[in-house]
Structure 1
Amino acid sequence: MTDRHLIETQQSSQVVFKGRFLHAFQDTVELPDGSSTVREYVVHPGAVMVIPLLQIEDGSLRVVLERQFRYPVDRVMVEFPAGKLDAGEVSFACAKRELQEETGYYAAEWARAGQMHPVIAYSTEFIDIWFARGLVCGQRHLDAGEFLDVITASPSELLQWCSDGRVTDAKTLVGALWLQNVLNGVWNLNWQSADAVGG
């Protein structure tokens, strides 16, 4: 089977906006039937999301989350820690950096779960999904102009927040799905020490 009957071909491309890390383009494309149309989209450098698993002394499991004001939607959102890739940065280095900077936690073990594309209709953005466990709390190092609260929740609390609309962030909803399937034994993770992943 071939996808040729679905593929659109770029005919021309114009930069509409060039920001600090987002670039907007307007392209003219040829559709599979030979006609032309315009596609507008944003080029994004990519990002990571971390699902940090915190083992409590009583043996229960909690996940580390953040509360952060998101200007475009004008509200405080509950999210998993996440951040964009710096130029030339590999995914794991970004995940480790974002977890430590935003939450203060270091993780002894890591597992890459997969990748998601949050807004395929108008952005090139991808988000690599990482799990982290064996957490040790340290000092946060927030970026200038970054303000957020670090909270924890049980997996069942998080799923309830997803169900009742308290969590609407796309990456966190996907993370909750991944977490649920991992905890239920449906999806497996390949855990490695931080040193092994880094190597």
Structure 2
Amino acid sequence: MAPSEPPEHDGLRETPVATQPVFEGRFLRIWRDTVRLPDGAVAEREYIKHSGAVMVIPLLDNGRVLMERQWRTPMRRVMTEFPAGKLDAGEAWQACAARELREETGYSAREWAYIGTINNAISYSDEAIHLAFARGLSPGPRQLDQHEFLEVFEAAPEQLLDWVHSGAITDVKTVIGVFWLEKLLSGSWDLDWRS
């Protein structure tokens, strides 16, 4: 039986009346829309346009996973995350995932399993993050971007659950990845592995 979809609610739809750019940087674009609400009133909506990203959950043959620590300026602290990176224009998720995994960790993967897409901040951003598992990892040299500093380390899946529970990991994509990892390792959810 196929999973059901939530019902549509067209009565909640907002109709764009005007759209204008507010800020255009190298990484983010901020837009302001004037919209007509379901009751006919007019309102403004500001949001970030983002090219999208990919996050990889790298499974090592020893039962552990590869993780990263990286300074994140908006949070003003070092964050613990799975490897991830921004999609280039027209880039497929798997090409981006392979590139980011190699650049940030030095590893290449023999097999991939696509999990799906998440929208991590729907109230103010259109960013979509593709999530995937990687296994059959082979080490190699890292190829960090200029001015990119991060530490790569191995962690046991149980450690990750503890860190999510304690609040040591708060990055939403990583939290979701940890719960997917738990489902995979328990045998609750199957994945379609491909080369």
For normalisation by structure 2, the TM-score amounts to: 0.95
* 1:165-193 deviation digits (Å, cap 9, x = unpaired): 11000100010111111111111110011
The aligned counterpart of 2:107 is: 105
Mind listing any 5+ residue stretches in structure 2 that lack a counterpart?
1-6
The aligned counterpart of 2:3 is: none
* 1:43-68 deviation digits (Å, cap 9, x = unpaired): 00000000000012xxxx10100000
CA, structure 1 residues 105+2, in 2 after alignment: closer, same or farther (shift >3 Å)?
Answer: closer
Distance 1:126 1:152 in 2: 27
Pairing partner for 1:26 from 32, 55, 63: 32
Pairing partner for 1:178 from 153, 177, 180: 180
For normalisation by structure 1, the TM-score amounts to: 0.93
The aligned counterpart of 2:19 is: 13
* 1:53-98 deviation digits (Å, cap 9, x = unpaired): 0012xxxx10100000001110000000000001121111000000
* Cα RMSD (Å): 0.9
* 1:105-133 deviation digits (Å, cap 9, x = unpaired): 11111110111000000001000001000
Give the letter for the 1:80 counterpart.
F
Pairing partner for 1:53 from 49, 55, 59: 59
Q: CA deviation at 1:21?
A: 2.6
How many residue pairs were aligned?
Answer: 189
Distance 2:31 2:60 in 1: 41
Give the letter for the 2:194 counterpart.
Q
Mind listing any 5+ residue stretches in structure 1 that lack a counterpart?
194-199
The aligned counterpart of 1:196 is: none
Q: CA deviation at 1:2?
A: 4.5
Q: Which runs of 4+ in 1 moved over 6 A?
A: none
The aligned counterpart of 1:135 is: 137
Query: What are the equivalent positions in structure 2 for 1:12-161 lying under 5 Å apart?
Result: 12-56=18-62, 61-161=63-163
Pairing partner for 1:168 from 156, 165, 170: 170
Distance 2:88 2:49 in 1: 14
